[in-house]
Chain A
Amino acid sequence: NAGVTQTPKFQVLKTGQSMTLQCAQDMNHEYMSWYRQDPGMGLRLIHYSVGAGITDQGEVPNGYNVSRSTTEDFPLRLLSAAPSQTSVYFCASRQTGGRYVGNTIYFGEGSWLTVV
């Protein structure tokens, strides 16, 4: 079972460079999201999507773009990396369909990004 797959696991960028964090899930989940994890702050929602072609902003969207062309994939783009974007990034997915459906959220293994 692949679940949620994130790549790359580790990346070092120079300030101003662009890159894309890939996220794919094989569970046919409609809902996908990206979080960043910083020390002492838990996880914060960057962007999320409730289906192909539909995306919306979370708590900390600035500096990030997303798109959802297929159900399976939800890439996160950093257009011009800044040191403040040094963090661990998690992709997550779940089912949708009601208050008590999709209570289990599946996380990827995380992507460690350093911007120098």
Chain B
Amino acid sequence: AQKITQTQPGMFVQEKEAVTLDCTYDTSDPSYGLFWYKQPSSGEMIFLIYQGSYDQQNATEGRYSLNFQKARKSANLVISASQLGDSAMYFCAMREAWMDSSYKLIFGSGTRLLVRP
């Protein structure tokens, strides 16, 4: 069964420094997708970045990049030049891809990031 593990319940980072949030996954499906979402204190879920299992290059979106190591089954989120507004809960998620209509998104338990000024 698919599973997402985030082992860091909470992290601190100094403003303007880079930070890596860990995510490991488990799936037997050769075709899958990995997502990162940000949830600020206001509660909404904000899509950050996506990586497909067949994508040759690591995904990047502005200050966000995904360090995808397929053999290790890890999909770590790297935030460069942290800002105070980055303080939030971050979720890693994976989608089942064997049948599009069953598209279920499995979430990890999240990592709370606090950016220090």
Residues of A within 8 A of B (CB): 31, 33, 35, 40-45, 48, 50, 56, 58-59, 88, 90, 92, 94, 96-100, 102-110, 112
CA distance A110 to B37 in the complex (A): 14
- Cβ contact within 8 Å between A109 and B109: no
Number of chain B interface residues as a range: 20 to 34
- Cβ contact within 8 Å between A41 and B44: no
Identity of the chain B residue whose Cβ is nearest the Cβ of A107 in the assembled complex: B45
A107 neighbours in B (Cβ, 8 Å): 37, 44-47
Nearest CB on A from B5, distance (A)? 10
- Cβ contact within 8 Å between B43 and A110: yes
- Cβ contact within 8 Å between B33 and A43: no
**18 A-B pairs in the complex with CB atoms less than 8 angstroms apart:** A33-B105, A41-B109, A42-B93, A42-B108, A43-B45, A43-B107, A45-B106, A48-B104, A56-B102, A59-B104, A97-B100, A98-B100, A99-B33, A103-B35, A104-B47, A106-B47, A107-B44, A110-B43
Nearest CB on B from A34, distance (A)? 12
Q: Which one, A41, A43, A50, A103, contacts B101 given CB within 8 A? A: A50
B35 neighbours in A (Cβ, 8 Å): 103, 105
Q: Which one, A40, A99, A105, A108, contacts B105 given CB within 8 A? A: A105
- Cβ contact within 8 Å between B43 and A88: yes
- Cβ contact within 8 Å between A110 and B44: yes
Residues of B within 8 A of A (CB): 4, 6, 9, 31, 33, 35, 37, 42-47, 50, 52, 91, 93, 97, 100-110
Nearest CB on A from B114, distance (A)? 17
- Cβ contact within 8 Å between A104 and B104: no
- Cβ contact within 8 Å between B104 and A58: yes
Q: Which of A56, A88, A92, A100 has the most CB of B within 10 A?
A: A100
Q: Which one, B6, B9, B47, contacts A105 given CB within 8 A? A: B47
8 interchain residue pairs of minimum CB distance: A42-B107, A107-B45, A43-B107, A110-B43, A109-B44, A42-B109, A50-B101, A103-B50
